[in-house]
Homo-oligomer: A and B are copies of this chain.
């Protein structure tokens, strides 16, 4: 399973004669943002790539800000769905589930979409509270998924330890995904990095000791 532009579009289905206006525009906006960056995502360009005229976008979206917000909702909503879908269809073995999730996230980083989109989102989020909230919600959901698996893999852990471990793994994987993802110098190492990440984080979760969030004298592992 991968995140794709098409996944962002379906909404309620039923396409009258091609795509619904909103969807077509959002889909096009997304592709412009991915291919040329947010700064190149002008209404004119979106319109041109839709086969529409610039002024017509305003019919669907009152302002560019509205469009951006709808776009963000679409993107993060789609990721939320994908995460939930993953959680449902996961098997029984918690170690396997964690590895699957790690591999899923890093595979996503190999797509142009993820590797080019997320830096834009992060940059936007730093200066736009709405974007920040959207992105945060998305990651909170992902974090919850990690927490569930970690709880299965090491049931002895306390709440805080579990949360922190989830955040560490989640954020690390995001880093690896955009650092060694699509188009990057380190892209060819991704296969090895996936295996390493699986081993590293599975071992870490297994080795964690409950009671103290951080073993002050070093972990007992090794």
The chain A residues found within 8 Å of chain B, CB to CB, are: 36-40, 115-116, 119-120, 122-127, 136, 139-140, 160, 163-165, 167-168, 170-180, 183, 185-186, 189, 192-193, 195-197, 199-204, 206-207, 213-215, 218-219, 221-222
Query: Which residues of B sit under 8 angstroms from A168, Cβ to Cβ?
Result: 176, 193, 196-197, 200
Contact yes or no, B196 A214, CB < 8 A: yes
- In angstroms, Cα B139 to Cα A168, docked, is 21
Q: How far is the CB of A64 from chain B (nearest CB, A)?
A: 12
Q: How far is the CB of A104 from chain B (nearest CB, A)?
A: 16
Query: Which residues of B sit under 8 angstroms from A202, Cβ to Cβ?
Result: 218-219, 222
User: Which of B123, B179, B204 has a CB less than 8 Å from the CB of A174?
Assistant: B179
Query: Which residues of B sit under 8 angstroms from A199, Cβ to Cβ?
Result: 204, 214-215, 218-219, 221
Contact yes or no, B221 A207, CB < 8 A: yes
Q: How far is the CB of A160 from chain B (nearest CB, A)?
A: 7
